Amino acid sequence: MEICLTFILLSSTLTLTAAGSVRLVNGGSRCAGRVEVLHDGQWGTVCHFSWDTKDAAVVCRELRCGEPVDVQYAGHFGQGSGPIWMNNVHCSGSESTLKDCSSSGRGDSCGHRLDAGVTCSGENVRLTAGPHRCSGRVEVFHGGSWSTVCDADFDQQDAEVVCRELGCGIPVEVLGSAAFGRGEGQVWKEELQCRGNESEIYFCPTSSSLKHSDCSHYNDVGLKCSGHTEARLVNGPDSCSGRVELQYLSEWGTVCAVGWDMRAADVLCAQLDCGSAVAVVEVDWFGEGSGHIWADVFDCQGKETHLSQCGISSWSRAACSHKHDAGVICNGSSVAFHEGRVRLSGGSECQGEVEIYFRQDWRRVLLDSWSLSEASVLCRQLGCGSVLNYRSSPSTTEHKHMCVTGFSCSGSEAHLGNCSSAQPVNCGSGEQLYITCSVPRSIRLVGSGGDCAGRLEVFHSGSWGTVCDDSWDIEDAQVVCRQLQCGEALSTHIPAWFGPGTGSIWLNEVECEGSETSLWNCRFQLCEEGECGHQKDVGVVCSEFKEIQLTEGCEGNLEVFYNGTWGNVCHNQMDDETVNMVCRELNCGRSGSLSNAKARVKSAPNWLDYLKCRKHDSNLWQCPSSPWGQNNCDNGDEVARIICTDDGKSPHTQEKCSSFPSQKHCTKHWSLRLSGGKGSCSGRLEVYHNATWGSVCDDQWNIRNAQVVCRQLGCGSALSADRNVSFGAGEGTIWLNRVKCRGDEIHLWDCHHSLKKHTDCSHAGVTCAGQSSTDSTHTPVRPVLKLDNFCLESSTLV
């Protein structure tokens, strides 16, 4: 129900409209950010003079975002623009809207560097009196207090929204008759009328018909959700250190260390009332677990108080065993103060002055006792990758007059406690140690749309730069994929396969043996100015690179590229939310329809099943699903087929070249198909360009080109590259010529080629080993691969 009120702020002439007149900006959610108010059709900010918790409480209440968690000042969420509509706001804290508070009017003299902000709890609903946070009595925050909900006014659709909003998965059971005990205070007098796909109950319609006005606390509704119910640390000396275990429903399982970092550990320690994290450790600390290994990857910022508040993806990046179970040590544990514990101070998470807990106090370490072996162990122990460098500390201050020296490690130990013991020494007897480790994201792959393929960039001297391809080979690429937890290297692409970079070219002559855990452990040279150009920037594709397609452009079977192979996505439990996500990701509109279909290629793997996106997922890879390769569509006729609806507003109607800003020639849509052969895996190769289907010239056409086409079409390996083809005469323009592939490209457009009209050559064809599921029918399906926002370098146009 929308209510609009017009009001005048005291001491000013500012008139606002209550509905939609306040918002929070740049905070990552609608319940956190810079405070902005709407006046005369223009959004403006609020000066932080006199801004306090009472003022913030009114904003949180007005936005139905619970209660204020933190009040920010001085442009914490960035500086706004436009007018500063309100200054010296004074609220008692009980007002229902900001318009009820007094203000001295505009605060243009304040400056945007003083814009006020607030972080609200975001809670519109909670589950109380249950055994864990995802099970209990349903209560909603309304009118400044919590109210229970009548069981007659709550159904399955409402339950889906509550579980989703709380990060608790899906409903398991709705319980009436005060199953979790009778609540206190008000019984909410409105009926939720959620459709089930809303991200929060804030967005659900409500009805105040009071058709169940006789409800009391004897009718309080309860709810059990499937999501994370418990977390614990086990096999340590106390409850604040140990192997990480999470519970779904009644099943406990471990967490793969691949998806675990210090930020997630900090949140878990806070959730368990164990302070903050001291270390993320490997399995030799707390042993191997048993049972299920949860595939969740937690994307925490470190400020959350519960793991459920973090972004969670179930797309595990690596096949994990219990040999990779994650362990955590919190500072509330006795382990945190055992000999050999380390920390870095005076720098950042992975850089600073080294301090070791020794004889019941923290001590600095002398540089002269240190080597690369000890440094490698320390960085590993801190979860900070490998060593970049170690040197004398810029600080000359003595540290309680006692330092340590004498550590001796082989370099393979998991923590310093496994190395020989240190000895005390006076701090004045030598220089103290300062170390810089490579944080997990000190290298990255960019330009592919995913983080497991792209142009290789490294972070050095405060900025990102590229890597020259001199001496680059597959062993180097293997190290990159391993460091990024992206599986195995499928191929190494040079030069500038993902477009030329900008800025510095940091590394050259990289030489890895292939077994290193970090690129920084390989031999390399720092580039001198002028040695390399960006036309030689290295690119890498790893096995965990993922991509989706619909086989006929913006409709067809949904297929995913994973581990170097195109495979199917099964239909089970897929819903409208997932279909809409696919269409948006492919720039094919905002919605679509779903049906069952047969697999296009019989030999293709069924990669995914039970793919079900939630309202708050921002991309397909955040949506929960079964693990890779585990499915219930073995008979091949339960593959998802999607037809997207172009509403005229979808991004694919616009040209974008933001991923490759130096490339000038863009096409909105480039598709492939094989025509005139048997089924969809052999025939004359045709390309859709400039709204016209045309063929490909057979000049320089060879088996390597054919391999790429067969891979792109999901048709297995290439049997032949056909020239002067007998698949019938082609129609329209011959678009492509002089195609030259290495054979390991994912798409034909990744190969060197000329894209313009040709008339003086025959048509190229391809015969692939794969067999279409429709080969036995009279009307073969023609697969079409879609390319959005593809940009060609000027140099490839011949």
Could you write out the DSSP letters of every residue in 379-425? HHHTT--SEEEEEE-S----STT-EEE--B--S--SSGGGSBPPEEE
CA-wise closest residue to 296 among 232, 227, 352, 356: 227
Please give the Cα distance from 236 to 781 (Å, whole number): 58
Q: pLDDT tens, 55-72?
A: 998 998 888 777 787 787
- Identify the pLDDT of residue 643: 92
- Identify the pLDDT of residue 593: 93
> Could you tell me the pLDDT band of residue 337, with boundaries at 50, 70 and 90?
low
pLDDT over 60 (residue 787) = no
Q: What angle do CA 752, 753, 757 make, to 5 degrees?
A: 170
Percent of residues in the chain assigned helix, strand, coil, to nearest 5: 15, 35, 50
- Which residues does 282 contact at the CB level (< 8 Å), separation at least 6? 257, 327, 414
Alpha carbon separation from 44 to 25, 112, 145, 624 (Å, rounded): 11, 10, 30, 39
- Which residues does 397 contact at the CB level (< 8 Å), separation at least 6? none
pLDDT over 50 (residue 317) = no
688 or 184, greater pLDDT? 184
- Both structure tokens of 765: 């064809």
Q: pLDDT tens, 567-596?
A: 899 988 898 889 999 998 887 888 899 998
Mean pLDDT, rounded, for 721-746 = 74
> Could you tell me the pLDDT band of residue 798, with boundaries at 50, 70 and 90?
very low
Mean pLDDT, rounded, for 191-211 = 79
* DSSP structure string for 7-31: EE-TTS--EEESTT-EEEEEEEETT
> Could you tell me the pLDDT band of residue 75, with boundaries at 50, 70 and 90?
low
- Identify the pLDDT of residue 795: 27
768, 718 contact by CB (below 8 A): yes
CATH of 338-437, one of 3.40.50.1820, 3.30.70.1350, 3.10.250.10, 1.20.140.10: 3.10.250.10
Q: Which residues pair with 42 in a beta bridge?
A: 39
- Identify the pLDDT of residue 12: 35
Three-state SS string over 357-383 comes to ECCCCEEEEEHHHCCHHHHHHHHHHCC
Please give the Cα distance from 175 to 9 (Å, whole number): 46
Please give the Cα distance from 618 to 600 (Å, whole number): 29
- Identify the pLDDT of residue 690: 66
Please give the Cα distance from 73 to 68 (Å, whole number): 14
Question: Which CATH class for the 6-120 domain?
Answer: alpha beta
From first CA to last CA, the distance across the chain in angstroms is 62
**What is the CATH topology of the domain spanning 665-796?**
Mac-2 Binding Protein (3.10.250)
> 632 in helix, strand or coil?
coil
- Identify the pLDDT of residue 759: 67
Ranges of H-type helices in 414-466: none
> Could you tell me the pLDDT band of residue 5, with boundaries at 50, 70 and 90?
very low
Return the amino acid letter for 422: A
> 447 in helix, strand or coil?
strand
**What is the CATH topology of the domain spanning 125-225?**
Mac-2 Binding Protein (3.10.250)
- Which residues does 761 contact at the CB level (< 8 Å), separation at least 6? 697, 698, 699, 734, 737
693 or 254, greater pLDDT? 254
- Identify the pLDDT of residue 530: 54
Q: What angle do CA 601, 603, 607 make, to 5 degrees?
A: 90
Mean pLDDT, rounded, for 213-237 = 83
- Both structure tokens of 274: 């164990």
- Which residues does 367 contact at the CB level (< 8 Å), separation at least 6? 390, 391, 392, 393, 430, 431, 432, 433
Q: pLDDT tens, 482-504?
A: 888 788 888 766 555 677 777 78
pLDDT over 50 (residue 655) = no
Q: pLDDT tens, 137-166?
A: 999 877 667 889 998 889 988 998 998 887
> Could you tell me the pLDDT band of residue 788, with boundaries at 50, 70 and 90?
very low
> Which percentage of the chain shows pLDDT scores above 90?
7
pLDDT over 60 (residue 416) = yes
Chain region(s) in the chain for CATH 3.10.250.10: 6-120, 125-225, 228-334, 338-437, 443-542, 547-653, 665-796
639 or 40, greater pLDDT? 639
Asked which of 61-75, 85-99, 464-478, 541-555 is least confident by mean pLDDT, the reply is 61-75
704, 743 contact by CB (below 8 A): yes
The pLDDT mean for the chain works out to: 76
Please give the Cα distance from 704 to 686 (Å, whole number): 17
Please give the Cα distance from 149 to 182 (Å, whole number): 11
- Which residues does 752 contact at the CB level (< 8 Å), separation at least 6? 738, 739, 740, 741, 796
Please name the CATH architecture into which domain 228-334 falls: Roll (3.10)
Which sign, positive or negative, has the C-alpha torsion 147, 148, 149, 150?
A: negative
789 or 673, greater pLDDT? 673
H/E stretch holding 45? strand 42-46
Q: What is the CATH number of domain 443-542?
A: 3.10.250.10
Does CATH place domain 547-653 in 3.10.250.10?
yes
- Both structure tokens of 715: 């048709």
Output b/e per residue, 605-629; b: 16+ Cβ within 10 A. Answer: bbbbbbbebbbebeebbbbbbbebe
